Copies of this chain bind each other. A is one copy, B any other.
Amino acid sequence: MGDISRFNGNGSSAAGDGRRKSCWYEEEIEQDLRWCYALNGILHTGESQYQDIALLDTKPFGKALVIDGKLQSAEIDEFIYHECLVHPALLHQMNPRNVFIMGGGEGSTAREILRHKTVDRVVMCDIDEEVVDFCKSYLVANREAFCDLRLQLVINDARAELKKIEERFDVIIGDLADPIEDGPCYQLYTKSFYESILKPRLKEDGIFVTQAGPAGVFSHTEVFSCIYNTLRNVFRYVVPYSAHIPSYADTWGWIMASDTPFTLDSEELDSRIRQRINGENRYLDGKTFASSSLLSKAVRKSLAKETQVYTEDTAKFIYGHGTCHKQL
């Protein structure tokens, strides 16, 4: 038995390697392109009326929330998505006090909003109660946000809710699935929705911001350019911006829109960050936003030439994003 330590050492290293690479999550980015990450475990799985949901423990990205087979949010880099979604709009608004989130059931969007000292009311309107409950239970980083008294959680279709209420908001945030043809969120990206339902619920100097799908050199034609063009038909000032998110294996896009011009330079943004936001941003500051909102020549040309507008009748297809993850 004198050899045990040797066998053990031997065994462990073999085991370590073997085991490390055996369980994989395979995400189809496109039909002929896959992004595969090794798993430590499958922490929780659930199923709601609308969606399947899982919390995975991945090796490269930490814990990851997967909805209907698509990675939504990974521990390691969700801060990029959520800082980019929330802070530019809130910082450009003069004094954001109330904010409406369409979707956002994960809780991270609310968490970032609640870091703003000016904010005294956040309405998060997600249609899927089970997903919200799942995230409340398992996403430790958002627990505090879910308990914040300034947060009002509404379980409803965002369109129905915005139609019903009379409150007007400083900022409205779209944290929804991409607008795919026949997809359930499509109607939350149309010109008529923006004009007749959403815009009336924004204050005069209010800002709307939405996630806007992949924004890579090629992938921006899937939905990013159309969302941009649709918003250009509804608001006077529209600012598209983008950032590479490692766990998405792509550059992602957001678009900010308002009838009030966006005039802050990066020093002014940095100064508002210091004044208004509790804690320190990890990703976004003035220079980062300046860089993010300067799109590359290829994307700028393509956006300038875009003519399609999302209406109830037209739609564009985006591969594999067929289900509404956060909102109907």
Contacts and interface: CB of A to CB of B under 8 A. Distances in A.
> Which of A22, A41, A80 is most buried by chain B, counting CB atoms within 10 A of its CB?
A22
Contact of A288 (B7, B283, B297): B297
A291 B283 contact: no
A52 B19 contact: yes
A20 B54 CA distance: 12
Interface stretch (A42-50, A226-234, A256-264): A42-50
Given A20-B32, A36-B33, A41-B45, A51 B15 contact: yes
A163 B208 CA distance: 59
A250 B296 CA distance: 16
How many copies of this chain are found per oligomer? 4
Interface stretch (A91-99, A101-109, A215-223): A215-223
A322 interface: yes
A284 interface: yes
A235 interface: no
A130 interface: no
B324 A297 contact: no
A294 B287 contact: yes
A66 interface: yes
Interface string A234-258: 0000000001101001110000000
25 contacts: A1-B157, A7-B324, A7-B328, A8-B50, A11-B50, A14-B322, A15-B52, A18-B320, A19-B54, A21-B31, A21-B32, A22-B27, A22-B66, A24-B34, A30-B60, A33-B60, A35-B36, A35-B249, A36-B36, A77-B218, A216-B246, A281-B297, A282-B298, A287-B300, A291-B295
Closest 4 CB pairs of A and B: A18-B69, A32-B38, A291-B294, A32-B59
